[in-house]
Amino acid sequence: MSSTTIKSKTDNQVSRKPNFFVGVAKVTTGTFLSLTLLTTSTIAGALVGLAISFRNLPDVRVLKNYVPSQTSYVYDIKGKLLATYHGEEHRTIVPLRDMSPQLKRAVLAIEDSSFFSHDGVSPLGIARAMKVNIQSGGVSEGASTITMQLVKNIFLTPQRTFSRKLSEAVLAIRVEQVFSKDEILESYLNNIYWGHNNYGAETASRTYFNKSVKDLTLPEAAMMAGVIQAPEAYSPLANYKIAKQRQALVLDRMEILGWITPEEATKAKKEPLLIGKSTAWQKSKLPYVTDAVKVELAQRFGNEAVLKGGLNVQTTIDYNLQKQAQEIVTKAHRRIRSRGVRADQVALVAIDPRTHFVKAVVGGVDYEKSQFNRVMQSRRQPGSSFKPFVYYTAFASGKYTPYSSIPNFSKGYRDGGGLYRPENYGGNHGGGHVALVQALSSSLNIPAVVLGQRVGLDKVIELCRLLGIESPLAPVISLPLGPIGVTPMEMARAYATFASNGWQSDTTMILQVTDSMGNNILDNTPKQKLVLNEWATASLTTSLRRVVQPGGTAPNANIGRPAAGKTGTTSNEKDVWFVGYVPQMSVAVWIGNDDFKRTLGKGVTGGGYAAPIWRQFMRTALKDEPVLQFPAASSFTRPKPVKKK
C-alpha cells in the first residue's frame, strides 16, 4: 500500500541521502531521477503493451455485477436490532454519497493522494517502490494505488511477486478505463478489511465509533484511515496509543496537501475519541428467536444467502414482550423447583390470533446452558390439552352442542388385539352421563374417548392438520387423551385459530425480508381465511371458558377478562401444560424434563403449575390491551348433521 510507517509523516517526506542506491543492481542517481520524471501516460502505455502477455487476466467488467459478501440483519417488529448473520466477512455496503466526506479525504490522503489524476498507476509511487525494492533485493514496497489495491483484493492473491504486481497494474488500468473514479472509490471503501472481521467502512465505523460511516468526524475519519495499512496492529481497540499516532500521520498528510488547515489538524489530534467495541461476533439479544428465524431463512433462501446475502429481516417478535416472557419463565422455574417439582425446563410461546404472528418464544429456562428450543423442536405428549380437537370435531358435525349428553362410562375398546378401557384422572371409571361442556371443563377422560370413537379419529386428525399440527398422529383409541407428541408451537398455533373464531393465516416469526438492494423478497402480511365453522368454534370457546372458572381444572388461569383454555397432564406427571387464549393472544406453556423418563412428581398438574405461569404472562402481555369479548355461538348458524348414505 502507499501509506507510510508511523515514523514518517507523508509520502513526500521520504529521507534523501547522497547515495540513493546501495544494492544488487547499483543503479545511478541519474537513472532513478529520470524514472521519477516519467509521465503517467508513458508508464500506462508501457503496461498496456505488456498486457499482451496477460491475456488470461480476469475481465474487469465483471465488477459491474460484483456483490461482495454482506451481513444480514434481524430486527424485532418495531425495528430494534436483534442479531446479525455473517460468515468471515462482516460487511454492510453503503453508497459513496452516504460516506463522510472527511473519511474520503483522509483515506485518499494516506493511501493515494493522486487518485483523481492518475490512470490506475502512480509514476512517482512506482519509481519510489523501485528504489526501495532494488535496495532490498526483493519486493518490499508495493506502490499500489487505490485502484491497484482494489483489483488485488478482488482478483489476485496477496503474494508479493513482480509478476503479480505487474498483473495488478494492468488490471488497474483496465478498471480505470471501464469505471468512474467514484465507482472505484466506493467499491474500495466497501471492500477493504478494517480489522476485527469488519470489511467495508460502515461496519468498521460502527465497531470503532458506534455510528454510521456518514456521521464520522475529522478525528474519527483520520483514525479510520490510519488503520488500513495494518488493521489488527493499528486498531484503536488493540492499541489506542498507536492508533492516535496513525491518526496524526493522516492529519499531517492532509495538512500538507492543503485539504485541512493547521488549526484543524491540531484540534483533531487533541480531541479524545470514544471507542466502541467489536460488532462482528456480538451475541444475539434474543437467541431462541434469532436461531429459529435463521433456520426458517435458510430453508427459504439457502444458508449462503443468510450468511452472505445482506438480508434485512423484520421479525414479528416484540422485543420487550419477549424479554418479559423470558423473565417470567426463569422466575417461575425457580419457584416451582422450590416447591419440590422436579422440572428441568419450562417453555412458552405466544401468538397473536389476529395475524398469527409469533410474539414471543421462550425455548427453555437458560439459553446459555441449553440452546435446544423446546417450543419448536420438542415433541411432548399434550395430555388433555388435546381434547378440544375432539370436541370441536363433534360440534362441527352438527350432531352435538355443548349441552349434549355423553356417557361417562365405557366397557372398553379393542385395541391391537387387547382391550383398552379408559379411566378418568385418579383411576376413576366414571358412571352415568354428562354434558359435553361439563366433561371438557372437568377434563374427564372417558367421555373424550367415547366422543372420539363417535366422531371418528380420522376426522380429528384431519382437523389437526388443518390447524397446523404437523407432528405424526395415529388414530389410536387413546388419541383424545394426547398420548402422541406435539410441539408447544403447534398447540399455540392451533388454539390461535380457535381464538380468532376459525379465521387463520400462516403462522410466522418473519414479517418481511428485503435483499441488499432493498427489494422485498418475502412479505408475510396476513392473508386471513375462514377454515373452521364459526358456530362450532364459538361453542368450543364457550366450553373452554368454563375451564378457567371455579369448578374447572384451571381457575389459576383466571385473568379477570374473557379467556378460554385447557389443561394437560400426562400419565405419571411427565408433562404438564396449559394452552389458552383471549381474542388478542394464544399462549402455550409446557413444563417437563428433557429426559422423557423423569416424572415431575406426584400430584403435579397443568392447572396447578402451568396455568399460573400462563396467567402471569397474559397479565403482562395484555396490560395495555382492551378487554374484548368472544363471539357468541348464537350469532352463527349451527351446521346441519350430514346424513349417512
DSSP string covering 565-634: EEEEE-GGGSEEEEEEEETTEEEEEEEE-SSTT----TT--IIIIIHHHHHHHHHHHTTTSPP-PPPPGG
Q: In the predicted model, is pLDDT for residue 256 greater than 50?
A: yes
Percent of the chain that is helix, strand, coil (3-state, to 5): 45, 15, 40
Q: What is the mean pLDDT of residues 541-570?
A: 97
Q: What is the mean pLDDT of residues 305-328?
A: 97
Of the candidates 72, 113, 378, 384, the residue annotated as catalytic is 384
Q: In the predicted model, is pLDDT for residue 284 greater than 70?
A: yes
Look at the chain and report how many structural domains it folds into. Answer: 2
Q: Is residue 568 situated within a structural domain?
A: yes
Q: What is the mean pLDDT of residues 422-437?
A: 89
Q: How far apart are CA 333 and CA 295, in angstroms?
A: 27
Are residue 530 and residue 591 in the same domain, yes or no?
A: yes
For 54-99, write each residue's pLDDT tens digit: 566 778 888 888 889 999 999 999 999 999 999 989 999 999 999 9
Q: How far apart are CA 467 and CA 448, in angstroms?
A: 19
Are residue 411 and residue 546 in the same domain, yes or no?
A: yes
Of the candidates 2, 89, 111, 500, the residue annotated as catalytic is 111
Q: In the predicted model, is pLDDT for residue 539 greater than 90?
A: yes
Query: CATH number for the domain including 115?
Result: 1.10.3810.10
Q: Which three cell numbers stand for residue 163?
A: 509478476
Q: Which pLDDT score, from 0 to 100, does residue 10 have?
A: 31
Angle at 203 between CA 202 and CA 205, to 5 degrees: 65
Of 270, 285, 308, the last residue of a domain is 270
Q: How far apart are CA 476 and CA 422, in angstroms?
A: 12
Sorting pLDDT into bands at 50, 70 and 90, what band is 29? very low
Are residue 198 and residue 342 in the same domain, yes or no?
A: no
Q: What is the mean pLDDT of residues 492-497?
A: 98
Q: Which pLDDT score, from 0 to 100, does residue 75 have?
A: 98
Of 252, 270, 288, the last residue of a domain is 270
Percent of the chain with pLDDT over 90: 76
Q: Is residue 130 situated within a structural domain?
A: yes
Are residue 429 and residue 346 in the same domain, yes or no?
A: yes
Query: Over the Cα atoms of the chain, what is R_g?
Result: 35
Q: What is the mean pLDDT of residues 620-643?
A: 95
Q: Is residue 284 situated within a structural domain?
A: no
Are residue 262 and residue 116 in the same domain, yes or no?
A: yes
Helix, strand or coil, per DSSP, at residue 439 = helix
Are residue 623 and residue 536 in the same domain, yes or no?
A: yes
Q: Which pLDDT score, from 0 to 100, does residue 129 have?
A: 60
Angle at 389 between CA 553 and CA 493, to 5 degrees: 90
- What DSSP character marks residue 606? I
Task: Tell whether the torsion through CA atoms of 288, 289, 294 and 297 is positive or negative.
Answer: positive
pTM: 0.85
Q: Is residue 350 situated within a structural domain?
A: yes
Helix, strand or coil, per DSSP, at residue 146 = helix
Q: How far apart are CA 208 and CA 540, in angstroms?
A: 58
Are residue 258 and residue 359 in the same domain, yes or no?
A: no
Q: Is residue 182 situated within a structural domain?
A: yes
Answer whether 140's CB lies under 8 Å from 132's CB.
Answer: yes
Query: CATH number for the domain including 428?
Result: 3.40.710.10
Of 270, 294, 311, the last residue of a domain is 270
Number of CB atoms found within 10 A of residue 283's CB: 9
Are residue 58 and residue 206 in the same domain, yes or no?
A: yes
**Region of 100 on the Ramachandran plot (φ > 0 left; ψ -120 to 50 alpha; else beta):** beta
Q: In the predicted model, is pLDDT for residue 645 greater than 70?
A: no
Are residue 418 and residue 562 in the same domain, yes or no?
A: yes
Q: Is residue 310 situated within a structural domain?
A: no
| Residue 304 falls in the annotated catalytic set | no
**Region of 519 on the Ramachandran plot (φ > 0 left; ψ -120 to 50 alpha; else beta):** beta
Are residue 487 and residue 588 in the same domain, yes or no?
A: yes
Q: What is the mean pLDDT of residues 338-364?
A: 97
Are residue 129 and residue 46 in the same domain, yes or no?
A: yes
Number of CB atoms found within 10 A of residue 525's CB: 8
8 vs 50: which has the higher pLDDT: 50
Q: Is residue 293 situated within a structural domain?
A: no
Q: What is the mean pLDDT of residues 629-645?
A: 89
- What DSSP character marks residue 383? G
Closest CA to 225 of 246, 210, 253: 246
| Residue 111 falls in the annotated catalytic set | yes
For 448-482, write each residue's pLDDT tens digit: 999 999 999 999 999 999 999 999 999 999 999 99
For 381-397, write each residue's pLDDT tens digit: 999 999 999 999 999 99
Answer whether 245's CB lies under 8 Å from 264's CB.
Answer: no
Percent of the chain with pLDDT over 70: 87
Cα dihedral 402→408→411→413 (10° resolution): 40
Q: How far apart are CA 198 and CA 202, in angstroms?
A: 9
Q: Please tell me which of 1-15, 149-163, 214-228 the model is most confident about, judged by mean pLDDT.
A: 214-228
- What DSSP character marks residue 424? B
Q: In the predicted model, is pLDDT for residue 137 greater than 80?
A: no
Q: How far apart are CA 310 and CA 68, in angstroms?
A: 9
Are residue 257 and residue 328 in the same domain, yes or no?
A: no
In single-letter form, the type of residue at position 537 comes to T
Q: What is the mean pLDDT of residues 622-627?
A: 97
For 173-220, write each residue's pLDDT tens digit: 999 999 999 999 999 999 999 999 999 999 999 999 999 999 999 999
Q: Which three cell numbers stand for residue 511?
A: 414479517
Q: Is residue 286 situated within a structural domain?
A: no
Task: Note down the domain range covering 239.
Answer: 11-67+99-270
Answer whether 61's CB lies under 8 Å from 47's CB.
Answer: no
Q: In the predicted model, is pLDDT for residue 540 greater than 70?
A: yes
Q: In the predicted model, is pLDDT for residue 343 greater than 50?
A: yes
Q: What is the mean pLDDT of residues 310-326?
A: 98
Q: In the predicted model, is pLDDT for residue 39 greater than 60?
A: no
Q: In the predicted model, is pLDDT for residue 308 greater than 50?
A: yes
